[in-house]
Structure 1
């Protein structure tokens, strides 16, 4: 099949990494796959730009689509005409802008699949497509009730995420001391509840005085979180690792004993939880998106006391997360199920 993914974002964050891994796995299965991204916004502050990364992977679509929510109407119209002239079997759209474009610029004979990456996209005015994907099994019934063909698109995991060969050596290289080492790995924004995590760690430290807390990421609430850490007298036990990507991010994750995932952003596939599990890191998480499917223990409510209760339970849960090849096969099967009806 000739597959074109539409991803109207200039950032290699949120769903972008999942799309890249899915496209790679589909290509490895013998299909012709490219990914079109936002080509208008080139100055991307604080986050990795998407176009260079997709180009390096050999996946960047060169069909002339600007694919940006910031494009003026006449350039959006140009995108529509260019998409309509394409010769592809499947158009797989990932954001609302993509789907608007694909809805009216669908190439002749192409199947249209829409991925919903967060529940806010699953609304009564859901645009028409041949099939849909959702990031968590808990969202499937809402589509099935509408009679829509749908499948779960779980988090795909890059091969770099594996248990550390020597965690003690890795921690020394990263300047980490003490144990256990607990982390939060996410953008500093309200939905991720860093404030709850810091308060929980203050309580946890009373019971585990040698524990250390690692905060990986950046965002608008970094300084506020630093002030909270200082006010609680935790500065000696907390490391702000900053924004990490690629191999560096994997190393920080591998160094942890446990990760606290206390909220999701615009990607409910809970990729960080899947990455942590692949690294052999225990996952303590709230009940959002796909997190319950990947957590060792689910926090009953997003409060500091409940986080500590879950962390101290030491509960471990087996998780049989599908491989990237299996996920790609399932999505290709979804394409095939709806194609004959056209």
Structure 2
């Protein structure tokens, strides 16, 4: 099967890693798979670019698509013409720009699939597709009226996320003490609720005075979070690890005892929670996106008391997350269902 994923983003963030892992798993199952990304936007200093990543994985599509929301009308027309001439069996669109382009540019005979990665994309103006994926099971009902197959696309996890064989040495190498480590591993933005995390950690230390908070990431609210840590007199118990990627990020995650995920960004598959679970790290999470299916302890409301109660509960989930191969196989089944439904 020839599969082309459309991902109109220049960033290696949000759904990009999930798309890459899905494409790799589909390729491992014997299919021809490439991923087209935004090749126009290059001024992306604040985030890691997607092109080098997909290129290194051998997945980057070289079919001449600009695939950018910044494209002028003549460039969009060029993309439409190039797309119509492609010889593919499945056109899998991931963002709104991709879906609009695919709506008018799907090659003859190809099946058009749309992945929804966040609820804001579920609106009445959503273009028609032969099949859909959503990041969490509770969102399936929003598409039932379209009478097309709908499937949950869970977070896929890179094999490097696994329990460390020597946590004590790893912690020493990272400059961390051998104590109870709580972490938050996301961009510093409003939706991730770092301020709530700091306040909750301040309360947690009354019960676990030896605990330490590790904040991995960067972003607009980093300085504000540093200020809050200082105001709460937690400087000696909080580590700002900065932006981490690849094996370095996996190491920071492996060093933790527990991770708090108190909000999601533009990818509701809750990949960070799946990565943490794969590393043997306990997950405390709010009720957003796919987090309830991945959390060891659920935060019933985004309040300090609820976060602390979940953290102290000691609860552990028993469900296992599906493998990348199983997820890819399920998505391939969706393609088949969508193709058969058109006949």
Alpha-carbon contact 2:168-2:178 (below 8 Å) kept: no
Q: State the match for 2:267 in structure 1.
A: 267
**1:187-218: CA deviation from partner (whole Å, max 9, x where unpaired):** 10000000000000000011111100000011
**1:285-308: CA deviation from partner (whole Å, max 9, x where unpaired):** 000000000000100100111100
2: CA distance, partners of 1:45 / 1:194:
23
Alpha-carbon contact 1:178-1:212 (below 8 Å) kept: no
- The 5-angstrom pairing of residues 242-253 of structure 1 reads 242-253=242-253
Q: State the match for 1:28 in structure 2.
A: 28
Q: Which aligned segments of 4 or more residues in structure 1 are displaced greater than 3 angstroms? A: none
2: CA distance, partners of 1:197 / 1:61:
40
The answer to which of 204-213 and 266-275 deviates more is 204-213
- The 5-angstrom pairing of residues 193-208 of structure 1 reads 193-208=193-208
CA shift at 1:41, angstroms?
A: 1.2
CA shift at 1:82, angstroms?
A: 0.3
CA shift at 1:174, angstroms?
A: 0.3
Q: Mind listing any 5+ residue stretches in structure 1 that lack a counterpart?
A: none
Q: Mind listing any 5+ residue stretches in structure 2 that lack a counterpart?
A: none
Q: State the match for 2:53 in structure 1.
A: 53
What secondary structure sits across from 2:112 in the alignment? strand
What secondary structure sits across from 2:151 in the alignment? strand
2: CA distance, partners of 1:253 / 1:138:
28
What secondary structure sits across from 1:132 in the alignment? strand
Alpha-carbon contact 1:3-1:89 (below 8 Å) kept: yes
1: CA distance, partners of 2:211 / 2:321:
29
- The 5-angstrom pairing of residues 230-241 of structure 1 reads 230-241=230-241
What secondary structure sits across from 1:284 in the alignment? strand
Q: State the match for 1:149 in structure 2.
A: 149
Q: State the match for 1:168 in structure 2.
A: 168
What secondary structure sits across from 1:334 in the alignment? helix
Alpha-carbon contact 2:171-2:178 (below 8 Å) kept: no
CA shift at 1:141, angstroms?
A: 1.6
1: CA distance, partners of 2:27 / 2:295:
30
CA shift at 1:142, angstroms?
A: 1.7
Scaled by the length of structure 1, the TM-score of the pair is: 0.99
Q: State the match for 1:314 in structure 2.
A: 314
CA shift at 1:144, angstroms?
A: 2.0
CA shift at 1:44, angstroms?
A: 1.6
What secondary structure sits across from 1:184 in the alignment? strand
Q: How many residues align?
A: 342
Q: State the match for 2:42 in structure 1.
A: 42
2: CA distance, partners of 1:328 / 1:201:
38
What secondary structure sits across from 1:176 in the alignment? coil
2: CA distance, partners of 1:47 / 1:161:
22
The answer to which of 41-50 and 162-171 deviates more is 41-50
**1:112-169: CA deviation from partner (whole Å, max 9, x where unpaired):** 0000000111112221000000001111122124423110000000000000111111
Q: State the match for 1:212 in structure 2.
A: 212
